[in-house]
Amino acid sequence: GDSVTQMEGPVTLSEEAFLTINCTYTATGYPSLFWYVQYPGEGLQLLLKATKADDKGSNKGFEATYRKETTSFHLEKGSVQVSDSAVYFCALSAKGGNKLVFGAGTILRVKS
Amino acid sequence: SAVISQKPSRDICQRGTSLTIQCQVDSQVTMMFWYRQQPGQSLTLIATANQGSEATYESGFVIDKFPISRPNLTFSTLTVSNMSPEDSSIYLCSAAQGDYGYTFGSGTRLTVV
């Protein structure tokens, strides 16, 4: 079945450091890919998405590019802030399947 | 994108009792979903709720334990029945919104004692 694999956390960075959170997926066909963020004590917020190969999703300085050849959707940010500390979930939705399949989540801690 | 109001935001319940969680969407949506997030874990889909038909449950989840209602295109409820401490989790509803992706409620943090 469809699945998403994320790098394990926690990831601890200093403020203004470069962030990469790896995400790879397994799916039949060409799924839509998402990054969600969950701040402490809150629900999930959509961070960015991409619906086809080579699409780049971006929001709030975060970026991810849909790479069909490597079945990846890595999350990057050039300069993290303390306020970026949260749990980040990579997810996919298979075409026609509709439901979201989530990765395990990666805790990001940014220190000042 | 749509906004989902979910309540209650948290509750502490006695074992053996039931809790009904409500989600209200501010626009009509065809597909709604219910997820469980156990402490420190990712989200696991419980069921898909479509208006006018019975919910579709994922493996490991049954209707007797998690009955779902979907009376119209803006509202859904999930009941956690005959609760035990193992049911302590965050429960989230979600709505599919086509090009907007998926919107989530703020979650219900359930503790069973």
Structure-token match 């959707």, residue found: A73
Our CA dihedral for B90, B46, B86, B18, rounded to 10 degrees, sits at: 80
- Three-class DSSP category at A94: coil
Q: What pLDDT does B19 receive? A: 98
Nearest by CB to A43, which of B31, B41, B105? Answer: B105
Q: What pLDDT does B15 receive? A: 97
Considering only CB atoms, which chain A residues are within 8 Å of B104? Answer: 36, 43-45
Q: Quick check: B63 and B46 in contact, CB under 8 A?
A: no
Q: What pLDDT does A43 receive? A: 85
Determine phi and psi for B18, rounding to 5 degrees. -125, 150
**pLDDT above 90 (res B52):** no
Distance CA B4, CA B52 (A): 20
Considering only CB atoms, which chain A residues are within 8 Å of B53? Answer: none
pLDDT tens string B54-112: 899 999 999 999 999 999 999 999 999 999 999 999 999 999 877 667 899 999 999 99
Average pLDDT estimate for A16-20: 97
Q: What pLDDT does A42 receive? A: 85
**pLDDT above 70 (res A97):** no
Interface probe for B, chosen from A102, A106, A107 (most Cβ of B below 10 Å), is: A102
**pLDDT above 80 (res A95):** no
Check residue A29 and report its DSSP letter.
Answer: S
pLDDT tens string A26-62: 998 889 999 999 998 888 999 999 999 999 999 999 9
Residue B60's CB is within 10 A of a number of other CB atoms, namely 8
Q: How far is CA A36 from CA A49, A59, A71, B57, in A?
A: 9, 11, 18, 23
Distance CA B75, CA A19 (A): 38
**pLDDT above 90 (res A104):** yes
Q: What pLDDT does A9 receive? A: 87
Considering only CB atoms, which chain B residues are within 8 Å of A2? Answer: none
Nearest by CB to A43, which of B1, B45, B106? Answer: B106
Angle at B38 between CA A61 and CA A96, to 5 degrees: 65
A43 contacts B6? CB cut-off 8 A:
yes
Burial label, A13 (beta-carbon count in 10 A; 0-12, 13-18, 19+): middle
pLDDT band at A96 (very low <50, low <70, confident <90, very high): low
Task: List residues of chain A with CB under 8 Å from any CB of chain B.
Answer: 32, 34, 36, 42-46, 49, 51, 89, 93, 98-105
Please provide the DSSP assignment of chain B as one string.
---EEEE-SEEEE-TT--EEEEEEESS--SEEEEEEE-TT--EEEEEEEETTSPPEEPTT--TTTS-EEEEETTEEEEEE-S--GGG-EEEEEEEE-GGG-EEE---EEEEE-
Task: List residues of chain B with CB under 8 Å from any CB of chain A.
Answer: 1, 6, 31, 33, 41-43, 45, 48, 92, 94, 96, 99-107
